[in-house]
Structure 1
């Protein structure tokens, strides 16, 4: 962390303390944000690095793959946030960010 970034982190923690808000542990202030979820109509994979609260969010490469006969086949890819719409009800297995989901996604 650069001197400038650490100064921003100290300022942010001070502002939170003065405002009466709960102060999160240092590791919660910034770090990787990764998830892989299904909401009934869409698979969403997130892979970002956050310098919260004052810094940028850096999108990192991410892909969603469908597992067919034990082999992962990429169905969507990009940076930061990737979505894959589901068009059916057949149960299929998908993987992203090291997480595997078996969901009704045609």
Structure 2
């Protein structure tokens, strides 16, 4: 059984990924990129960033959620994993932002 805040956090994570995908779909529809290699690179950067932020948030939620179910980790270890997950999430958001910047620069030229 997973604690409620972990379930709510995973729903929020899915909502964030849906927003990122929807925004990219809108940009792709309104401002298409003619070059297929640039389009592929933008897609890889966005997908990589989305994977990083999903893994980071899931790790951060799971570390503290595991303390409530079965304490496999000590409190200090769980906090370290949570901090590492939040850092990975931050890196993921930066990569997603970089993907949107790549798309906007490619669609202008």
TM-score normalised over the length of structure 1: 0.26
Higher helix content, 1 or 2: 2
Higher strand content, 1 or 2: 1
Greater RCO, 1 or 2 (C-alpha within 8 Å, sep 6+): 2
For the pair shown, which has the larger CA radius of gyration, 1 or 2? 1
